[in-house]
Each structure stands twice: as C-alpha cells, then as structure tokens.
Amino acid sequence: MGPLAGKTIIEFAGLGPAPYAGMMLADMGAEVIRIERPGGGTMIGSADPKWDVHNRGKACICINMKSPEGVACAERLVQSADALIEGFRPGVMEKLGLGPDHCLQINPKLVYGRMTGWGQSGDLAHTAGHDINYIALTGALHAIGPRGQKPAIPLNLVGDYGGGGMMLAFGLVCALLEAQNSGQGQVIDSSIVDGTASLMGFAYSAFQSGLSSDRRGENILDSGAFFYNVYETSDGGYISIGSIEPQFFNLLIELLELDNAASGDEVINWRQLQWQSKQWPELSDKFAALFKTRSRDQWCQLLEGTDVCFAPVLSIDEARSHPHNIARGTFIETDGTWQPAPTPRFSRTRAEVAHGAMALGENTRSVLSAAGYDDQTIEQLLASGAVAC
C-alpha cells in the first residue's frame, strides 16, 4: 500500500500536466477517479488505451457534464473525495457548475487543484498556450541551447511536467497534510509559468551573482564548458561528460591520457585551462575531435563506472535495457507495455502501479455503485445519456 492509500482524488480528464499529477498520486496509492466526457479521446488518440501511461492506476467514468443528472453524479463523487484535479482554462469549471466555491461548500475539506499554463490571474490568464510558450516567458527557453544557435526545445519536460504536473502534485500533498490539521480544504492555483520560474531559481541566482551570463551556450551548464557537454563518437553515437569538480576533471584528463599531450606544436595544460572560459570554444573543438576517434561503446569501456561523471546518450528504446536501469528496476512492464516505475521509493509504504490505463468509461458502473447508486438508477443514468460506459 502506497503512502497515499485511503485518499480519493477526482480528476477531470485533460492532457499533459494534470493527468501526470494524477498518475503520480495514483502511483502513491491514492484512488484516482478520472472523469471523461462520453466520446472523448485520450492522449494517444484511437490507439489502445494501455499506451496512455498517464492514466495508469486510475478508474475511469464517463459523465456528460452538460446534463443536470451528470453534474449531480460528479457532485456526489466530489462530496466524498479528498481532492480534485482540473486543468481547464480559468472559469470553465465554474460554467460547469463545479467551481471551487460550490465544491468547497458541499465538501469543506476538499483540496481543489487547478492546473493552468499562465495561472488563474494575470494578463494572459485566459489566453491559449503550450509548454513552449510558458517556458519562453520565464527565460528558461532562452537559456537552453548551443552558442550562436536558436533555443533548443527540451520536449515538454521543463514546463508541462516539471513546472506543471510535479508542482501540482506537490501542492496537493501539502494541502492534504494541512487539511488533516485544520479540517479545511483550499484551492491550489498551480501555474506552469510559476513552476518553471521556481525551477529556474539557480539559473537566476547564477546570473545575478555574475557566475553566468545571459547569453546562451557560454556557461557551465548550457554546453559552454568543454568539460560539461555532449560529444559525437565515431559511430554516430553520443556521450555525455560532466567533469566539473577538479578531482573528476583530473581523472578525465588522466584516463584520456592528455597530461603533457601535444596538440600540433603546443602542449596544452588542461588542468590550468579548465576555468579559462575564453578558451572553452577552442578546447571544446579539441575534445570533439578526440571523442570522434572511438565508438560510443569504446568510450563506455574506458569511462563508464568511473568518477569522471560520464554516461552514454541512450535512445528511448535503449534506456530500458541499460544494466543500471535493469538493476534498479527503473522501468516496469504493465499490460504488455514498458513504462517508468513509480518514484520516489519508500522503505515501508511501497508505491506501485495498481493496473494499466482503463478504457473510457470502463469503470462507470463500479464507480457509481461505490458512490451509493443502486443498479436501477445506474441503468437509468446510462439510458438518459447522463453517464456512459
């Protein structure tokens, strides 16, 4: 039983960060009931729902929120829930009749989690957007990418999932803990912009202190430093080097046999030049030429498992087969699909995936039954179109 066993979360289905937060809570043992609209679609469209990892461990009920009877069903679920998750634009839940004021009136202990890109307030609150726009507004997108090139898009990891879903899950758990003491629920305004800005705290501090510049690709962690970078190998693969600390950098120079090694007509004192940032572009070129002399596997044989801070750049398909990930159980298989294991890990209340993602409305009858509806009423609701299987 995970650490959130006994908690019930109602999740109004959406895309990206809100479902990810729900997945995190389900992995931790919470009962998450996903409310979908009849005829809706999941993130992976018409494909088998088992591929939609965000919906693993959740029950799924289809409710027609345009029907008074459907809204009444949702209200009954909310009445006995510990928390609610929604990821619509500001005002949408109020139009459905399930805004925070109403829900907290019928369930004063409810934790009401709202996930948006721009936030519930502000000049852009009612404007459409996506991850790329939200991280652009914080400086995060500007800071990522090689020198002299356009910003690199970090998938939607920084905004949707780091600044969005994970921050929402954190906020929900914090509010649930507080509600245990106060007996009162509250509303969580989780904004991807705000969350991304929080993730950028170190970058903002480094810039203000003079440790880094506001120019992309010229700093330690953005590919500016030759000792913290990605390099291509002779077989077209890539490796990552992160030898920042002197003991790690010294070991790298030793294993690469660069001590007193001549480069053309000169002998480079690598240790002396490590922090000479003006030399970084030239030294990066020399490292690039060196690492292209061997294959990725050959560099793994030399550097992997040492303290130079090294790892091969694995493809998505390769990642699950790496010996370290196998030993850790970083990936699991559920319903014939491999996926990341629940994280973090607990010594006593083990987190686990209860089951794979359910099809739309697969649990409509069982969820309504658990909410106190008798079989006859459930059939009437199905016949009226208020709910669907």
State the Cα–Cα distance between residues 111 and 187, nearest whole angstrom.
6
Q: Which residues are the active-site residues?
A: 130, 160
The position carrying tokens 């990522």 is 144
> Could you tell me the two tokens for 207?
């810039």
State the Cα–Cα distance between residues 336 and 332, nearest whole angstrom.
10
State the Cα–Cα distance between residues 86 and 303, nearest whole angstrom.
46
> Could you tell me the two tokens for 278?
């003006």
> Could you tell me the two tokens for 35?
């409310």
